[in-house]
Amino acid sequence: MSKTQLVISAILTLLLASPSLAGEKEDRIKLKTISQDIAKLQQSIKGSSKQQDSLNKALRKAELASAGINLKINSLETKLKSLNAELTQLHLEQTTLEASRKSQQAMISKQITAAYHLGSEEPIKLLLNQENPDRISRTLKYYDYFLQARGKKLSHYRETLTSLNKVEASISDHQLALSTNRDALKQEHQQLTERQQARREVLAQLNKQLSGSKQTLNKLSTERSRLESVLKSLQKSIAKLSLPSTEQPFAGQRGRLAWPVSGRLSKHFGASRNASITWDGWLLRAKEGSAVNTIHHGRVIFSNYLRGHGLLMIIDHGDGYMSLYAHNQVLLKETGEWVLTGETIAKVGNSGGREEHALYFEIRHNGKPANPKRWLKKKG
């Protein structure tokens, strides 16, 4: 049972009981315990807030580091793209040069053939065999051109291939290094992402814890205020109920009492509300504004708003019996008033935070919930 239920149960029991020193002492002990719980929660919230600030700073640091790594990764990927484009261009150039090389090979082959035809004749011999001085001059120039052109082409070809081989080797080395660095950075980034996620989870837990603590603190503060109000009321003394002699005692009405409202039973006594809480009464769905009638004569001992129950009325029927009517739209009787059997005391609503309109109804004996099924008439 939650603290809220315990406090409400205590309130109901106190309201029904005659004021006594022992009862007031017990209530003061409960009030002191609640105050101590509040103090502990305040310290817990203070510590959680400090830890939350520390984690926020760590999270910010991790995210900035992650952003820096992402920037490096993007820069490296840009360089890789540039190098790949350059390498592609060099491959195209290599293809062009290879075609040129083949063409040059063919030309050189022709030049070699021509040189072969010249045989082993030296330039001086060629000069002596020529009778026309102009032809001698042209022959010498041709021979010189032939040798120079062949030498230049061969030299240029070798230089080009050497340069290409060096550049391609260099690019391959750089590409491998960049790829290795990128993989390393991605791995580091992944680790940072995992640490970020872990911090987010801790931060979420702290937020939840902090939020839950604040809610509990608010709840306990409200409960303390309620209990203080009850203590003040009890100190003024509630007159012991004196029932009219003409009325029948509540204890003799088992199975004879009329339903408090014309509606449909939605939640029955003992049904599970969640893992650890069950319904202590009935939830009766009814039209908004429908009349809520008292099941037996008695005296109103509570007619007010109670957190979680909305507009609530509690009627004392004597001999430790009482009935409770919650989530009303309006309360038509005030505390201390006498009510007759079947008298309209409220109207159906959805106060207390409910979505649908319904009446929550309980019967209690000496503060303990009783099954309404045993007391109300069976519907025909």
CB 250 within 8 A of CB 321: yes
Per-residue pLDDT reduced to its tens digit, 179-202: 777 787 777 778 767 765 765 676
**Counting every residue, how long is the chain?**
380
pLDDT above 90 coverage of the chain, percent: 16
Specify the DSSP class assigned to residue 278: B
Strand partners, 328: 311, 348
Choose among 289, 282, 263: nearest CA to 347.
289
Long-range contacts of 155-161 (CB under 8 A, 24+ apart): 157/97, 157/100, 157/101, 157/104, 160/97, 161/97, 161/101
- The residues near 51 (Cβ < 8 Å, ≥ 6 apart) are 206
What pLDDT does residue 120 have?
47
Strands (E), the chain: 264-267, 282-285, 291-293, 298-306, 310-318, 321-331, 338-339, 344-348, 358-365, 368-370
Q: Report the DSSP pairing between strands 282-285 and 291-293.
A: unpaired
Q: What is the pLDDT of residue 7?
A: 44
Structural domains of the chain sorted by starting position, each given as residue range(s) with its CATH number in brackets: 55-209 (1.10.287), 239-374 (2.70.70.10)
Measured between alpha carbons, how far is 306 from 284 in angstroms, rounded to an integer? Answer: 19
> Vertex 243, ends 314 and 282: CA angle to 5°?
30
Identify which of 298, 306, 378, 374 has the alpha carbon closest to the alpha carbon of residue 339: 298
* Among 312, 62, 80, residue whose Cα is nearest residue 182: 80
Which three-class secondary structure state does DSSP give residue 17?
coil
> Would you state the structure tokens that stand for residue 48, as one six-digit string?
């959680």
* pLDDT at residue number 87: 72
Give the model's pLDDT for residue 325: 95
Q: Which helix (H) or strand (E) holds 110?
A: helix 21-118
Nearest to 39 by CA among 226, 211, 213: 213
Q: What is the pLDDT of residues 59-68, one digit of tens each?
A: 556 655 655 6
Per-residue pLDDT of the chain (380 residues; tens, 9 = 90+): 444 444 445 445 544 444 444 555 665 565 566 556 656 665 665 665 676 667 656 655 665 565 566 667 777 777 777 777 777 787 777 777 677 667 766 766 776 676 666 554 545 455 555 555 556 566 656 666 666 766 776 677 677 677 777 777 777 777 787 777 778 777 777 876 776 576 567 657 656 655 665 555 554 455 445 534 543 453 343 344 455 555 688 989 999 999 999 999 999 998 877 656 778 899 999 998 899 999 999 988 888 877 678 788 889 888 888 899 998 988 899 888 899 999 999 989 888 767 788 999 999 888 788 999 999 998 76
The model's pTM is 0.42
Here the tokens at position 201 are: 């989870």
